[in-house]
Every structure is written in structure tokens, then in C-alpha cells.
Amino acid sequence: MNTKTSQFRKLLHKGLVIMPGAFNAYSALLIEQAGFSAYYISGAGLANAVFGVPDIGIPTLPEAAEHARRIDQTVSIPGISDADTGFENISATIKTFEASGVAGIHLEDQQTDKRCGHLEGKKLISAKEMGKKIEKAITTKKDKNFLVIARTDAAAVEGFDAALKRAKLYEDAGADAIFTEALTSEKEFAAFRQAIKIPLLANMTEFGKTPYLSIKKFEALGMNMVIFPMTLFRVAAKSMQQALVELKQKGTQKGILEKMQTRQELYKLLKYNP
């Protein structure tokens, strides 16, 4: 039995679970070192950082699950993984991600040719079809503590009221939690909290539709989980771009040494003593 699933459930009972996004095993180590109690694996992070492609559902189930396994085995804290639209076969998806070691996954109600949740042009499956996916996921999981989170992208497609209606249906279908994607105000988060009894996950991504809210604000709004899916990746990518400009223009990296993690710091994090 995966002890990280029960570990995550205990965190949920204690209060707001804050999950920075890990785009590889090393970033997960940094998250743990910084004192966070959980991490998140973004589908966009997998697509962008590992495959060098947009977040349009290109990675396969085996690739996504192996990515999750590699990250999870590196740290002692539990994590939640993006499972996109479920990779066509919900039973296989649940079984594969349970075996990867993560504490749970989320499934979204977009069509298979999905897009980033904060972009225009998303297409949804019917609420009824999504409800059946959730029911299948719940009946398939072997570990009762494995979290199946239902994500609805309806707010930006069908409107807020439709998103709330879908969330209630997904709750009735047996979802362990609801992921409220691309909400645009504190008022909308509060309305979800008032209407939904099960835990809620908020996405505090950058450059999207959701205003920048603090952890304290999410706590006050009654959220149970908040993810920062691409924060580390975006900071790392910008730093790498700047380092490459420096190297290209000056022909040496000497001027940016102070911005680097030292060899000693790296080895300390890896618990390596050569």
C-alpha cells in the first residue's frame, strides 16, 4: 500500500496544502528542501520541459506515469499529478498512476485534443460523459486514499454557472475533490466553496485568467489545495535564457557565477559526499 496517499489525506485534514510544480526530479528535491509538504506535477511542465512541445496532450500515459514515478521516488513528500483527459482508458490510467507512487491525479472535462486551461478555444465533453469517467476512476482505484480530483474547464467555455453545475455533478459522481480551473475572481472561488462540500483545488498559475491571490487569501476563501504548476519552470527557463545571452555576448560565464548553485550546494541536496 502506498503510504504517501494516506500522508496526503492527513495533510488535507490539517489545512491548506500548498503544492509548487515539479517539472523533474531535481525540482522536486528543491521543493522538499524548501519545506513544502507536497508537490504537483503539471502536464504542461511535462510537455514543455521534457518533450519541448506545447501542452496539447502529446505525452502518452506510459510517458506521463513514468515521469511521475521518477519524480515521486526521489522525495519523501507526496504529490498530485495531472492526468489530462484520462488518456482514453480511465481504468488503465488509474492503475498506472497508482503504481507510479503519486498520491492522486486529476482528470479534466476537455475533449482529447485539449489545451492549456487558461487559453481560449477549449472544447468540452458532456457533463454526463465526464461523470461516467469519474465513476469509473473511483471504482477502479485499489487504494481508498488515492485522490481522484475532477477538473472542470467549463467556466471559460460555458460560463460560471455551468461550471458550478458540472462541479456538483462530479461531486455526486464520487470525485474526491474538485479542481476549479480558470476562475476570474475571489467571488467565484467563494461561490464554489459555498456550493461544493468536498475539497477544492485552486490553480495559481502565472499569466492566466486567475488574479494573483496569496496563500492567506486562498485559506480565507476555504480552498483545500493550491498549486503553482509552472512557477519554478518559468523562473528556471528565464534564468537559462539570460545565462545563454551572457555566455554568447561575453564568451565567459564568470559574470554570472553568483547566480549559480554551487557544486557544494548541489552535492548537499543530493546527499552526495565524494
151 is catalytic: yes
- Name the active-site residue from 166, 181, 224, 234: 181
- Name the active-site residue from 32, 39, 55, 72: 55
Q: Is 151 helix (H, G, I), strand (E, B) or coil?
A: strand
- Name the active-site residue from 32, 84, 153, 176: 84
- Name the active-site residue from 32, 48, 67, 116: 116
Which residues, in sequence order, are CB contacts of 73 under 8 Å at separation 6+?
Answer: 25, 101
Cell representation of residue 152: 472542470
Q: pLDDT at position 122, please?
A: 67
In the chain, which residues have pLDDT < 70? 1, 112-122
Please check whether residue 176 is in contact with residue 198, taking contact to mean a CB–CB distance below 8 angstroms. yes
What is the set of domains in the chain, with CATH numbers? 3-229 (3.20.20.60), 231-274 (no CATH)
84 is catalytic: yes
203 is catalytic: yes
108 is catalytic: yes
116 is catalytic: yes
Please check whether residue 181 is in contact with residue 117, taking contact to mean a CB–CB distance below 8 angstroms. yes
Torsion of CA 75, 80, 85, 90, to 10 degrees: 80
Please check whether residue 131 is in contact with residue 167, taking contact to mean a CB–CB distance below 8 angstroms. no
